[in-house]
Amino acid sequence: MSDIDVEVVEDLSPAVDAPEYVLYGGKGGVGKTTMAAATALASARDGTATLAVSTDPAHSLSDALGREVPATPARIDDEVPLYGAEIDPENLDGGPFGAADGAGAGAMGGLGGLLGGDGMGAGSMPGADEAAAMQLLLRYMDDERFDRVVVDTAPTGHTLRLLELPDVMDSMVGKLLSLRERMSGMMGSIGGLFGGNGPDEEQMEQGVEDLRELSARVERLRAVLTDPARTDFRVVLVPEAMSVSESKRLVARLDEFSIPVGTVVVNRVMQPLAEVADVDPDWFVAPDLADCEFCARRWEVQRGALADAQELFRGHAVKRVPLFADEVRGEEALRVVAACLD
């Protein structure tokens, strides 16, 4: 956005009306990172200590914010309380099932011993990346430095696996605890079951304790994600029929998990900026709908998709963000996007 006059947007400081946890989700390439970065920056400028965190393996949060975002939470702005983290599940201490502080025996702490070894790293089992992301989200929710956490989620499939983990892991925890109880006092038999290399009593007890702790943390995550007073999952889409249909299915799936979707963001709409936000549009290059046949035809397609979106997502706040002529990155551009989301 090199043509932006900074003075034009200097007074743009929209108050962020959002709960403690804001998650942006949707298909890849629809602009989730841009929305998350804009919301986090506006929240921090509002005086709220805010963490912007990306769980997408293909991180672009650093590019959107125009500054380096580390793998673990750190302050990334000297003037406002903005923190950032791009989760790297391959470099987690303790693995996806380790202790919250990374302590424990081997890659999985006491649970690794319970399962007969410590060679199960984060990348060695299905869903481990999502489990790793969930572990860190739980940790960040407990971090007293942050009053709000804004999450740039991975594309839809990965996000749904992340949201499925509480049920999957809760079932696993219950089954393993039940197995532990049934096998109590039968340690000799367990040794045979594991080929003579079964866990000893100390490993078993530590593993059970880890499981109980994990179960409690999973329940806490479920409680947070399903509380509309604390969480808003915001679905991002573009104004095309396929994207609207895919987003409808995502909203339906989130409803199955009881995840509250308060906001639907339609990005890259071919409308003048002044029609979607109370912003001085002098610098904004709007599509020429009168003399550009391509622009006019694309707008007709978008109008149909927008009408469908308004109808399908009735009951949700539907926000529009216009199509910018330049790449949306850096503070000035993100503040304009935040004004559209206000």
In this prediction, residue 138 carries a pLDDT of 73
Q: Which residue ranges make up each domain of the chain?
A: 6-341
Domain 6-341 matching CATH 3.40.50.300: the answer reads yes
Q: Tell me the β-bridge partners of 49.
A: none
Is residue 234 within 8 A of residue 340, CB to CB? The reply is no
pLDDT in tens, the chain (342 residues): 434 333 333 444 555 677 899 999 888 889 999 999 999 999 999 999 999 999 877 778 999 999 999 988 999 999 999 999 998 766 555 444 444 444 333 333 444 433 333 433 444 444 555 566 666 777 787 788 999 999 998 776 666 666 676 666 667 667 776 776 666 655 555 555 555 555 556 776 676 677 777 777 777 777 888 899 998 999 999 999 999 999 999 999 888 888 889 999 999 999 888 888 877 666 678 888 889 999 999 999 999 999 999 999 998 999 999 999 888 888 888 999 999 998
Question: What string of DSSP letters covers 217-246?
Answer: HHHHHHHHHT-TTTEEEEEEE-SSHHHHHH
Q: Tell me the β-bridge partners of 237.
A: 266
Cβ neighbors of 299 (< 8 A, separation 6 or more) are 270, 287, 289
**Pairing between β-strand 317-322 and β-strand 263-269 as defined by DSSP bridges:** parallel
Write down the H helix ranges in the chain. 6-9, 32-45, 61-65, 109-114, 128-141, 156-182, 187-193, 201-225, 241-256, 293-312, 331-341
Q: Which residue has the tokens 């983290």?
A: 85
What pTM does this model have?
0.77
In this prediction, residue 65 carries a pLDDT of 93
Q: Which residue has the tokens 């108050």?
A: 15
In this prediction, residue 284 carries a pLDDT of 79
